[in-house]
Every structure is written in structure tokens, then in C-alpha cells.
Amino acid sequence: MQIKFWGVRGSIPTPGPDTVVYGGNTTCIEVRAGDTNIILDCGTGIRELGNHYSRLGKAVKVHIFLSHSHWDHIQGFPFFMPIYRYGNEIHIYGPAHPDRTIRDLLTLQMDGAYFPARYFELAAKIHHHDLREESVDIEDVTVHSRFMNHPIYTLGYRIHHEGKVLVYTSDNEPYSAFLYDHLKDFGDAIPASEMEEFLAQCNRRLVDFVSDADVVIADAMYRTEEYPRYRGWGHSSAEHAMELAIKAKAKKLVIWHHDPNRTDADLEAMVRDTQAIAWSRGSKLEVVAAKEKETLEI
């Protein structure tokens, strides 16, 4: 399995001299597993990936797995050139919403009030797949989906191919007492002990989802000291991501979804500090930061 990062930034693109090493495009990851091409999210990084496919000069078949519909995860889709070419086949998977399909969400951002090309004008053959927690088989690749802890419906993905495992948590925050704080209006309807056990079970489910991954690409938007100011926003700190990877016995952690204010120097320091904490706990976990155009082999 080959993993290539085309966009690594969260929230908003950040071009400039302080982000040239790690990159400033928003989220997009390409996964090549045998003859299967998978794309994880459609931030601005997908534009260059689409240009790469166009230069190949042949029909393209890709499977796009959207984690959720926040802007930084879909804003590059209208600039993905293969959707405008006849003969291309695009499968799009994403979390089902109670009132809107994944097609509805993508159509909305290409409404004429926001973008000159309409969704119904796209030339490629596009298939839509609304997901919950389930498994998808694509030739010899299996993709498992699991809901994450984020303010809207969000899926993480576990990809299996020839004995190798990649886990992509997307935007995710550890389940914590913060949720219980918001349920206090229900009085004694939910005893504290029961809520604590429920939240612990939710965190254990995530550890199980990540278990024994060769590579886990995990949300690490914040440093530990920053996180308290953003509790409930649906993101993790680098130390949260490290703790998850260690508990799950993952081999390599790629911290990802970089804060738009995080410079290259900041990211280098974050990796050094997180790696040092992991080693201090006796873990052999390898910690790196996602870097645009970098390729990982597993």
C-alpha cells in the first residue's frame, strides 16, 4: 500500500513562507492499493492530484471516501479535473445524514450562487454511496468505517490490503466528561457512573478500530496546553493521538490536520516533543508529521 499526502492542513489553506516544508493545502490523501485508487477527503490538495491524473492521459477510476462535509474536506472537489472528463468513473462514499445524502451535500457547494459549474453538468460517471458503520469491498481492498467524535456526522476509515492496515481517523476528539457536562440538564436521568462507563466504552471502541495498524493518520490539531481552550470543537491534541496509537499498538503515527497557524518550525517541535513522550513511556511508536507530496510505503 502506498500513501501520498496532497493536503495536510485543517480549516483553511495556508500558503506562505512559513508552511513551504509541510504544505498549506487542506486535507487530501491518496492511497494506492494494488490496482485500486482511493482518495481520502477532498480539500484543496485534490486539485494537484487531479492534475496528476489528467497528465496520465487515460481514463481514471477512483474511490473517494469523504470523512465529513466540513469545508476543508470538500472545498477542492469542484477543482478535481477528472470529474469534468467523459470516460472517468468516480465513486464517492461518505457519512449518511438524516436529511441529506452525500450527493446533496456536494451538489449544494456547486450551486450556481457559489460556483460556475453545476453538479449536474459533470461529465464523469459518478456513483454515490451513503455510509454508516459498515464494510466496503473494492476488489482486494476492504474499507471499514467507524463514526468519530466530531460536531457533525464524521467517519474514520480502516483500510486493509494484503495484510497491511492503514487507519485514518479524520477529525476526532476523545470522548470525555465534556459531553456529560452538557447532559446535566437531564438531572439524575443519567447517573454519572453510567455516563463515565459509556464514554470509556466509546474510547475503547476507537482503540479497537485503530488496533495493530501499520500506519494511523490521526487528527492532532492542538498541543496539549492549547486543547482546553477548544474542548468540544471535535479535534485532538498531538498527545491524544499518541496515546491512542500506543494503546492500539500501532506501529507508526502520522500527526495530521495541522492548525492553520502552525508553522514548519512549530510542527518540527511538535513531532520532537510527541516522539520524546512516547519513548519516555517505553513505546517504540514512530511519530512523524504529514508532509505534502511525501509518500509512505507499508
Q: Over range 70-84, report the average pLDDT.
A: 98
Share of the chain above pLDDT 70, in %: 95
Q: Which residue has the higher pLDDT, 34 or 183?
A: 34
Question: Each residue of 198-226: b (16+ CB within 10 Å) or e?
Answer: ebeeebeebbebbeebebbbbbbbbbeee
- pLDDT > 70? residue 187: no
Kindly report the CATH number assigned to the domain that includes residue 25. Answer: 3.60.15.10
- pLDDT > 60? residue 168: yes
Instruction: Tell me which residue range forms the domain holding 108.
Output: 2-297
pLDDT of residue 177: 59
Q: From residue 276, how far is each of 116, 215, 287 by CA, in Å?
A: 49, 19, 9
Smallest CA-to-CA distance from 78 within 105, 38, 40 is with 105
pLDDT band at 220; cut points 50, 70, 90: very high
- What is the total count of domains within the chain? 1
- pLDDT > 60? residue 180: no
Q: Over range 203-216, report the average pLDDT.
A: 97
End-to-end CA distance of the chain: 5
Whole-model pTM: value is 0.95
pLDDT band at 194; cut points 50, 70, 90: confident
- pLDDT > 90? residue 25: yes
pLDDT averaged over every residue in the chain: 94
Give the torsion sign (CA, 243, 212, 293, 49).
negative
